[in-house]
Structure 1
Amino acid sequence: VVRVLGYTPSKPAAIVAAVIYITCGLCFFYHTFRRKNYWALCLPIGSCAMGIGFIIRIMLNNPDHQKRGPFVAEEILTACSPATFLAFNYIVHGRLLGNCMGKRHSYIPPTYVSWFFVCSDLLTFVAAGTAMFTKTSTLETGKTVFQVGVILQSASYYVFFILYFLSWRSCRKEGIATGREAWWKIYKLLGVSSFFITVRTIFRIAESCSDPGTPIRTREVYLYVFDTLPLFLAIVGYIFWWPGPYLERDSIADAVPMEKVSTSSV
């Protein structure tokens, strides 16, 4: 473990992270089942899985537990579980377009928005998971596979973020939405979440491309500041503003743009 990570995992930091993510996961489970928003299950499952990963990381503080099995499990859970956070944002954006804003503001049919990005996320998830299994035995192979997975996942999210911005611009330009619709809160929250996820992806790319022995790889503080913390900030807002109720109000999906009304009247 120390040979691969370059340090012994901090027990107090792992305890704090485990408590935070499991608490978030339980809150998300509460919202999901209370509102019957079963489409959102990926978020609570991912958050709890992340917390379990940090519980295993607590064990890795003890040299007696620094074995390949626990290490691989911890790496898979902490590195791959955030893919569910991205998937949740994809799903929320697709529902915003389909239920609230209207298909006309999407460059990809809303039906396919979630599926396209979730599938791309799943492929990179598998790539990253495969890399974790090879990391301790064939280090260079594992590093390459993981690096490719991280870059592809990041690129996918950057494309999504661009589409998010274009949908916002299209909706504002149309002039039907007043900006006071309830779902705007979720749209803005989605943007904040995406910002912190982007911070995390940049860190992961930098980390995966760096050489062993560099500070970004051998100092655990970077992992918590640029990975664990941004991911927490990316999802914690959903505890207080759960998307479900907001996606059912103030829809302009069926509204007719003024230029179409004028054309049809002529």
Structure 2
Amino acid sequence: MHMARMHPALPLVLLGLVLQTAAIIKFDIPRPDPFLDPRNDPYNPLKYIASNTLTGISVALVLIVAVLQTWCIKRWGARWMSAMTIGAYCFAIGLAFRFGLAIHPQSKGIYIVEYLFVVLSPCAFIAADYVLLGRVARHVQADRHLLVSPRKITLVFVSSDITTFLIQAIGGSISVSANDYDRALAGSRVFLAGLTAQLLSFSTFTCIYIRFLHRVRKYEPKAWAMDQDKKWYESWKSLAVVLFISCMGIMVRSIFRVIELSEGFQGPLTTSEALFYALDTLPLFVAIVVYVPFWPGRLIRPQENPAQNDAVIDSEKVSQDEKATA
């Protein structure tokens, strides 16, 4: 794809890959008896042995979503959603490295790759949601009900996402590659600051989105009734619901990560595999899988322009009136 046409959020994903690769300092030699007592093993960063069954299921599901989204882009377009698709591939890669941790639970190198891919990939999901709101607002011709213009919504929040992404990448790289407690603590605090800033930014975005839907429903009955002649799964309101569900999934995951990091790397949330899948992987999976049956490129077609359609209808009515008068 030509660089000028690339989605503005894609470079952050590519930059993430560079940072994640650069963060791999070394692979520690596994200590004796890594499976004897993982909970109290000082060299096991997870404090448990990753389940290959859960890893296999999660990798397969996320990878299926990524492939289906790739097909949707080729079938219906909406390349501006490709940040989410690339993020899904990266997320699947991160989860796949848990297979390595199941074999070598004490390997810091494998843990670094797994951790950074898993915690940074959702930034791409967030960026895609930011862009989508502007597209939806323009599609229903209700830009004025956003606090700022769709273009500024995308620019401001994607810029915020990139900034918080970089903060998290730096903090995460420092913390997971540290060989002493003080350095690890400093890195985790930097990462927590970036994650908290991202949560605040995304919460603001979600509030703006909810306000937008409320105002369109209240003040724009024509826009709200748009697509009423179509089936419910082809209506723009279906896409609006999907965006809200995606936001909620990301919100649950973000809150979980903030609380998790505030407890430190040895807290009950960090060392629980069940909570990792229930409050991190599952919400993120929901946030991306909901777009597969309601792909934005299928519901927001480039050639559709409600204002032009209305003009054509009005013109036809005028012609009919003139003929009736004659």
Correspondence for 2:82: 41
Correspondence for 2:115: 75
Correspondence for 1:12: 53
Correspondence for 2:281: 228
Correspondence for 2:187: 142
Larger mean CA deviation between 152-161 and 53-62 belongs to: 53-62
Asked if the contact 1:102/1:254 (under 8 Å) is kept, the reply is no
Return the alpha-carbon distance in structure 1 between the equivalents of residues 242 and 253 of structure 2.
17
Return the alpha-carbon distance in structure 1 between the equivalents of residues 308 and 287 of structure 2.
27
1:110-165 per-position Cα deviation (integer Å, ceiling 9, x unaligned) = 01111211111111111111122111312101110111111011111100000001
Structure having greater relative contact order (Cα 8 Å, sep ≥ 6): 1
CA RMSD of aligned residues (A): 2.1
Q: How does 1:47-62 map to 2 (within 5 A)?
A: 47-62=88-103
What is the number of equivalent residue pairs in this alignment? 255
1:192-247 per-position Cα deviation (integer Å, ceiling 9, x unaligned) = 11112111111111101114433212111111000100111111111111011212
Return the alpha-carbon distance in structure 2 between the equivalents of residues 86 and 253 of structure 1.
32
Of the three residues 210, 218, 223, the one matched with 1:177 is: 223
Q: CA deviation at 1:21?
A: 0.9
What is the DSSP-based 3-state SS (H/G/I as helix, E as strand, rest coil) of the residue aligned with 1:72?
Answer: helix
Larger mean CA deviation between 218-227 and 27-36 belongs to: 27-36
Of the three residues 269, 275, 287, the one matched with 1:216 is: 269
Relative to structure 1, the CA distance from residue 123 to residue 253 in structure 2 (aligned partners, 3 Å threshold; closer, same or farther) is: farther
Asked if the contact 2:122/2:284 (under 8 Å) is kept, the reply is yes
Return the alpha-carbon distance in structure 2 between the equivalents of residues 214 and 70 of structure 1.
21
Q: How does 1:243-262 map to 2 (within 5 A)?
A: 243-248=296-301, 251=306
Q: CA deviation at 1:6?
A: 2.4
Relative to structure 1, the CA distance from residue 233 to residue 61 in structure 2 (aligned partners, 3 Å threshold; closer, same or farther) is: same
Of the three residues 142, 148, 151, the one matched with 1:108 is: 148
1:79-138 per-position Cα deviation (integer Å, ceiling 9, x unaligned) = 010111111111111101123242111111101111211111111111111122111312
Return the alpha-carbon distance in structure 2 between the equivalents of residues 86 and 254 of structure 1.
32
Return the alpha-carbon distance in structure 2 between the equivalents of residues 139 and 25 of structure 1.
33
Relative to structure 1, the CA distance from residue 98 to residue 180 in structure 2 (aligned partners, 3 Å threshold; closer, same or farther) is: closer
Asked if the contact 2:140/2:226 (under 8 Å) is kept, the reply is no
Return the alpha-carbon distance in structure 2 between the equivalents of residues 135 and 15 of structure 1.
27
Query: Unpaired segments of 5 or more residues in structure 2?
Result: 1-41, 228-234, 312-326
TM-score normalised to the size of structure 2? 0.73
Of the three residues 146, 161, 178, the one matched with 2:206 is: 161
Query: Unpaired segments of 5 or more residues in structure 1?
Result: 257-266
What is the DSSP-based 3-state SS (H/G/I as helix, E as strand, rest coil) of the residue aligned with 1:240?
Answer: coil
Query: How high is the sequence identity, in percent, across the aligned residues?
Result: 27
Return the alpha-carbon distance in structure 1 between the equivalents of residues 209 and 253 of structure 2.
18
Correspondence for 2:33: none
Larger mean CA deviation between 1-10 and 165-174 belongs to: 1-10
Return the alpha-carbon distance in structure 2 between the equivalents of residues 254 and 145 of structure 1.
51
Correspondence for 2:28: none
